[in-house]
Amino acid sequence: MRCPARARRAIGLFLLSAYGLFAASAAYAADGRTFEFEYVVRVHPIGGGEREAGDENGEEVHVFVPLPTNDARQQVLDEEILASVPGRIEIEPVHGNRFYHLSYPTDGRALDVTIRTTVEREVVRAGERSEPDPAVLFRHLAGSTRVVVDHPVLQPMLADVRRLAGSGATAAKARAIYDWVVDHMEYKKVGNGWGNGDTFWACSERYGNCTDFHALVMSLARTEGIPARFEIGFSIPEDRSEGDIDGYHCWVELHLEETGWLPIDAAEASKQPERRDLFYGTHPADRIHFTTGRDLKLGPDHRGPALNFFIYPHVEVDGHPHDGPIETRFRYRNLPRLPADSIASKPR
C-alpha cells in the first residue's frame, strides 16, 4: 500500500555566550536535508499450523512498527509501506506517535514489512518550537519507570548543578545540567546494563549510550522544574550520501520560559567535544525523529507492559511480548533539497 503524507544554549548569563551559541549553530548544517529512509522488518514464523475455521481461541500476533514524526520540523513528503499482511497506520494517544499496526494468526508464516519514507528534515534551534499548553508541559515534568524525579540519588549532582548555575535564571540551571552530564558521563557501550535509559545506572556507572545520558538530563531537569521531552530516531550521517545505519539515536528538548523548547544532545557533545556549544541549542539535520516519550502504551491492542521507548518493532503474541527472532535493517540515501514552493505544493 502507498500512503502519501505531509505536514510541513541555554541563553547564557551573558549576551556574548548567547551570540557564540547561535553563531556556531549557523555555521554548522545551516540548511535542512531531504533523504529517503528505509525501515525493514522480518518477524520469523510464530506457531505451527493454520487455525481451524471458527476457532476464536487461537493466538494472535500483533506487530507495531514506529513511523517517522510528521511536523513542522520534519515533513514526511512521501511514504510507502509494503507488508506481507494487511495493516493500518495508528496514533499513540498521549504523544501522538505514528506507527504501523499489523495482526495475523499464529499460523507459521513469516512477516515482512518495508517502509520507505521521504523526509524533509530541518535544523532545530532554540526558541523555534513553543508549547503553550500547560498540560503538555506538566507531562514532561513527571517521572517514569526508569527516569526518576525528586529522588535522593540526584541530590549530590543537583548540589553541583546549583553551584555551577549560581544565582542565574532557569536558563543558567539548564546549561549547568547539560555541562554536568557532559563532564561526568562517558559515552561507551561496555558490559551489560547500559542502553536502558535508566537514571540509577547513569548515576552509579557514569557511562552508557544516548538513552543513559538523557535519562540523567531529564531526571535533573524535571527535579528542578524544567520540562524535558525525550525524542528518539536515527542518526543520518552527513559524511556519506547513503548507507546502512546500525542503531537508534535519542536526544532531549528542555522547555525554558526564556527560549521555549531548547534542543540539546549531551551524548553527541560527549562524543564531539569540539561541538559542545552547538549541541546546546541546536539539533542539526543529521537525524530522523520517530517517536516521543517513555513508558508508552500504543493502544487497545498493545496489552503487554508499557514500552520503555519505541524505536524498534514491538511484537506481542496473545497479549505477551514476543522474544523470538526479529530482523531489522535501516538504510538512508540523500536526495536533492527540494525548493520550498515545491514542498508547499505537495498534498497533506
- On whether the 33-121+295-345 domain is CATH 2.60.40.10, my answer is no
The percentage of the chain sitting over the pLDDT mark of 90, rounded to a whole number, equals 78
Mean pLDDT of 128-139: 79
User: Could you tell me the three cell numbers for 284?
Assistant: 542539526
pLDDT band at 241 (very low <50, low <70, confident <90, very high): very high
Mean pLDDT of 158-183: 94
CA torsion, points 263, 266, 272, 277, in degrees to nearest 10? 50
User: From CA 214, how far away is CA 10, in angstroms rounded?
Assistant: 16
Say if CB 116 and CB 35 are below 8 A apart: no
pLDDT digits (tens, 9 = 90+) for 17-50: 333 333 333 333 457 999 999 999 999 999 864 4
Domains of the chain, residue spans: 15-31+124-292, 33-121+295-345
Residue 66 has pLDDT above 60, yes or no: yes
Say if CB 79 and CB 70 are below 8 A apart: no
Q: Which of 310, 288, 298, 348 is nearest to 101 (CA)?
A: 298
pLDDT digits (tens, 9 = 90+) for 96-109: 999 999 999 999 99
Measured over the CA atoms of residue 44, residue 62, residue 108 and residue 114, the dihedral's sign is negative
Mean pLDDT of the chain: 87
Residue 155 has pLDDT above 60, yes or no: yes
What would you measure as the largest C-alpha separation in the chain, in angstroms? 73
Phi and psi at 66, nearest 5°, equal -65, 150
Q: How many CB atoms lie within 10 A of CB 181?
A: 27
Name the residue with higher pLDDT: 297 or 21.
Answer: 297
User: From CA 183, how far away is CA 173, in angstroms rounded?
Assistant: 15
Residue 221 has pLDDT above 80, yes or no: yes
Per-position DSSP letters for 133-194, written without gaps between them: -HHHHHHTTS--SSS-SS-GGGHHHHHHHHHHHTT--HHHHHHHHHHHHHHH-EE---SSST
- CB hemisphere CA count around 157 (13 angstroms): 30
Among the residue ranges 134-143, 227-236, 244-253, 339-348, the one predicted with the least confidence is: 339-348
DSSP for residue 342: H
Q: Please enumerate in sequence order all residues whose Cβ is within 8 A of that of 37, keeping only pairs 6 or more positions apart, or say none.
A: 68, 116, 117, 119, 234, 236, 288, 330, 331, 332
Q: Which residue is it, cell 551489560? A: 192
pLDDT band at 257 (very low <50, low <70, confident <90, very high): confident
Measured over the CA atoms of residue 99, residue 104, residue 106 and residue 107, the dihedral's sign is negative
Q: How many CB atoms lie within 10 A of CB 320?
A: 12
Residue 11 has pLDDT above 60, yes or no: no
What CATH number labels 15-31+124-292? 3.10.620.30
* pTM exceeds cut of 0.85: yes
